[in-house]
């Protein structure tokens, strides 16, 4: 009787262990699903917020404030430079409206600092190359090595499958997503596209208001001049 009772106890304990393992797996699966659902809800909310009128007003106020500080005088700067300045200001205002919660907005906000740092580095390199002997070929060698690196990268990109090439292109288009995995790129691209749509809508509305105000101002000044 004793061996049979011990065998039964062993069977019961193994069954209990199996049941506890199953419940643990179920709980883990449930928690993972809940996390995934909450993340999806957060993403859908963040994408939807760009379509609200309140968010558009926040962005338009930030954009108008930023544009007032840009020099748009045609005598001092050329049209392409003005266009570049307006685009940079519009993108920065968009990143501020996103509050740096996304990867693309953080990349836009830090890009100006990186650009300043690169300019300083280029200046130092130029000074170093000018202070060296006139017959030295450090500048040309660095340029040729850079060209070689670019050509190697292009060859590597050509060897990739079509899907990976498209993912890489998409990662380059979305700020801060150059070396990110596909799920992150898709998530950031969805939010970035929604933000850009709102940006276009806001800038179109501002342009229409400005054109309307200038036409009204010209129509009121016409009778005074005559």
Does the global pTM surpass 0.85? no
> Is residue 98 within 8 Å of residue 108, measured between CB atoms?
no
Asked if the model's pLDDT at residue 118 lies above 90, the reply is: no
User: Residue 43 in contact with residue 190, Cβ under 8 Å?
Assistant: yes
Q: Is 161 left (phi over 0), alpha (psi -120 to 50) or beta?
A: beta
Q: How far apart are CA 31 and CA 33, in angstroms?
A: 5
Our CA angle for 42, 45, 48, nearest 5°, is 150
Q: 172 to each of 115, 179, 225, how far by Cα in Å? A: 17, 9, 54
> What confidence score (pLDDT) does residue 134 get?
53
Mind listing the pLDDT tens digit for each residue in 67-106?
Answer: 888 877 766 667 788 888 889 999 999 999 998 889 999 9
pLDDT of 157 > 50? The answer is: yes
Tokens for 83, please give them.
Answer: 């266009």
Whether the Cβ atoms of residue 144 and residue 136 lie closer than 8 Å to each other: no
Listed in sequence order, the DSSP H helices in 98-160 are: 103-131, 138-159
Tokens describing residue 118: 């690169």
Name which of 156-160, 168-172, 173-177 the model is least confident about. Answer: 156-160
Confidence (pLDDT) at 90: 92
Higher per-residue confidence, 129 vs 62: 62
- What are the angstrom distances between the C-alpha of 24 and each of 27, 32, 33, 145? 5, 12, 14, 56
Residue 223: both structure tokens together: 């009778």
Give exposure, 32-57, as e/b (b: 16+ Cβ within 10 Å).
eeeeeeeeeeeeeebbebbeeeebbe
């Amino acid at each position: 009787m004793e061996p049979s009772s011990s065998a039964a106890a062993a069977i019961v304990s193994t069954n209990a262990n199996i049941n506890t393992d199953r419940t643990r797996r179920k709980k883990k699966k449930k928690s993972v699903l809940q996390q995934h659902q909450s993340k999806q809800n957060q993403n859908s909310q963040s994408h939807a917020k760009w379509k609200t009128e309140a968010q558009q007003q926040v962005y338009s106020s930030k954009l108008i404030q930023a544009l007032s500080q840009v020099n748009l005088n045609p005598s001092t700067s050329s049209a392409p430079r003005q266009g570049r300045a307006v685009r940079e200001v519009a993108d920065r205002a968009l990143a501020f409206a996103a509050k740096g919660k996304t990867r693309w907005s953080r990349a836009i906000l830090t890009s100006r600092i990186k650009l300043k740092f690169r300019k300083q580095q280029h200046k130092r390199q130029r000074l170093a190359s000018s202070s060296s002997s006139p017959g030295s070929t450090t500048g040309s060698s660095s340029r040729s090595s850079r060209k070689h690196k670019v050509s190697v990268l292009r060859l590597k990109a050509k060897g990739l499958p079509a899907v990976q090439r498209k993912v890489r292109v998409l990662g380059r288009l979305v700020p801060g997503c150059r070396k990110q995995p596909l799920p992150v790129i898709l998530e950031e691209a969805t939010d970035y596209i929604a933000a850009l749509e709102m940006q276009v809508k806001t800038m179109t509305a501002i342009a229409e208001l400005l054109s309307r105000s200038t036409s009204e101002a010209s129509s009121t000044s016409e009778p005074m001049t005559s």
